[in-house]
Amino acid sequence: MTIQRKTIVLEKVLEILQHTQNAISVSQLMDKLETIGIRPNKTTLYRLLEKLVSTTDALSITLKNGISYYELRQKRPHHHHFYCTKCDTVFCLGSCHVHTQKIDLTQLLPSPKFTVEAHDFNLYGVCESCR
Amino acid sequence: MTIQRKTIVLEKVLEILQHTQNAISVSQLMDKLETIGIRPNKTTLYRLLEKLVSTTDALSITLKNGISYYELRQKRPHHHHFYCTKCDTVFCLGSCHVHTQKIDLTQLLPSPKFTVEAHDFNLYGVCESCR
DNA sequence: GTGCAAATGCAAATGAGTTGCAATTAAAAT
DNA sequence: ATTTTAATTGCAACTCATTTGCATTTGCAC
Ligand SMILES: [Mn+2]
Ligand SMILES: [Mn+2]
Ligand SMILES: [Zn+2]
Ligand SMILES: [Zn+2]
């Protein structure tokens, strides 16, 4: 373990992740970087995001379109997402209802001997500006 | 629209889908077909499943591993799934808590003007027999 | 039997994501 | 300041589920 090198790409990616309300995909990220004149190699970008996830600075969610979207953990506690099928934007939702409403997942299981390690919950539909 | 042809593959696939408790992937389906001596072309299988889905006889769920799992609609009303990360089995869960507990999704949205068309909810963990 | 749409098979393409490996580069050690 | 070392980058090739094009086969209707 040594000190992680500072890079322009890392800085800009963090900046973009900080300033967006949404979770974003690699291709959306590449597009945003392109608008500020940065065209990173996609392997580099995947590796950077993988590192952010492994250090728990970021998390990724994967939707049923098979695409992963990334966001910084620091921004919000555990919550879920809304995917707009028109504009492909992934909006963050309010606090997870499973936790706020203390929903007992055990009673949904085929057997109480199942161990639940994670859950995901996604809404699909059309966002305000796409209506 | 004409009458759909009967085929051995279709019959056997329906039979397998009928008799399993779980939602199954194309590769799991091919494995099961192979044990009864049927080795269908994978394109054919994909097309068959796509047809079952388009006629609403079946539905597919896609998990964060990027793989789609299929099941017959007639078997159960709307519900969600548990994915065992050890054996890759997708178990069907009890009735959807969003409906049974009348959870108001609107309050989770960034704005009430969002239109929710669908939701999915998946549990990930270890099943009874894999513990 | 003939005609025709449905079904099938094969190879090639797709597309997100990954991997191997060689080339760069920044930081640490000298 | 120069060398050493390890992190970072880029490129091409690869993976793997799924899709597509296209030519061939097969049931069903007449
Ligand atoms: Mn979020
Ligand atoms: Mn099910
Ligand atoms: Zn949650
Ligand atoms: Zn539900």
User: What is the per-residue pLDDT across A68-115, written as a single tens digit (0 to 9) for each?
Assistant: 999 999 989 999 999 999 999 999 999 999 999 999 999 999 999 999
Torsion of CA B84, B87, B88, B91, to 10 degrees: -50
Nearest to A91 among B64, B110, B115 (CB): B110
Domain membership of residue B88 (yes or no) is yes
CA-CA distance, B67 to B60, in Å (whole number)? 10
Chain B touched by A116 (CB under 8 Å) = yes
pTM greater than 0.75: yes
Q: Are B85 and B126 in contact (CB under 8 A)?
A: yes
Q: Domain of B95: which CATH number?
A: 1.10.10.10
Angle at A90 between CA A89 and CA A94, to 5 degrees: 135
Q: Which of A19, A129, A112 is closest to B125 using CA atoms? A: A112
Q: Is the pLDDT of residue B64 over 50?
A: yes
Mean pLDDT of B98-117: 96
Residue B130 within any structural domain of the chain: no
Give residue A8's pLDDT. Answer: 80
CA-to-CA distance for A122 and A113, rounded, in angstroms? 26
User: pLDDT-derived band of residue B2, with 50, 70 and 90 as boundaries?
Assistant: very low
The per-residue pLDDT for A31 is 93
Domain annotation covers residue B2: no
- Strand runs labelled E in chain A: 24-25, 58-62, 68-72, 79-84, 90-95, 115-126
- Find which nucleotide's C1' atom is closest to B10's CA: C7
Q: Is A42 part of any domain? A: yes
User: What integer is the mean pLDDT of B15-44?
Assistant: 94
* B88 CA from centroid of ligand 2 (Å): 14
Give A67 to chain B, closest Cα distance, Å: 8
Q: What is the pLDDT of residue A9?
A: 81
Q: Is residue B28 part of a domain?
A: yes
- Tell me the pLDDT band of B75, cut-offs 50, 70 and 90: confident
DSSP for B21-79, please give it. SSBEEHHHHHHHHHHTT----HHHHHHHHHHHHHTTSEEEEE-TTS-EEEEEGGG-SSE
pLDDT at B11: 87
Per the listing, tokens 């194309």 go with: B26
**CA-CA-CA-CA torsion sign (B105, B107, B110, B114):** positive
Confidence at residue A7, expressed as pLDDT on a 0 to 100 scale = 80
Residue A130 included in any domain: no
Does the structure show a pLDDT above 50 at B1?
no
Domain count, chain A: 1
Chain C nucleotides close to protein (CB under 7 A) are 5-11, 16-20, 26-28
Domain that holds residue A31: 8-125
Please name the member of A65, A108, A115 whose beta carbon is closest to the beta carbon of B93: A108
Task: Look over chain A and give the mean of its residue pLDDT values, rounded to a whole number.
Answer: 93
Taking the centre of ligand 4 as the mean of its atom positions, its distance from the CA of residue A123, in whole angstroms, is 10
Tell me the C-alpha distance between B130 and B122, whole Å: 18
Question: For A114, which of B80, B120, B125 is closest by C-beta distance?
Answer: B125
Domain membership flag for residue A104: yes
Residue B131 lies in a domain: no
Q: Which pLDDT score, from 0 to 100, does residue B4 have?
A: 56
Distance from CA of A100 to the nearest CA of B (A): 11
* pLDDT at residue A40 greater than cutoff 50: yes
pLDDT at residue B32 is higher than 80: yes
Residue carrying structure tokens 């399993």? B20
User: Which token pair is B28?
Assistant: 């799991």
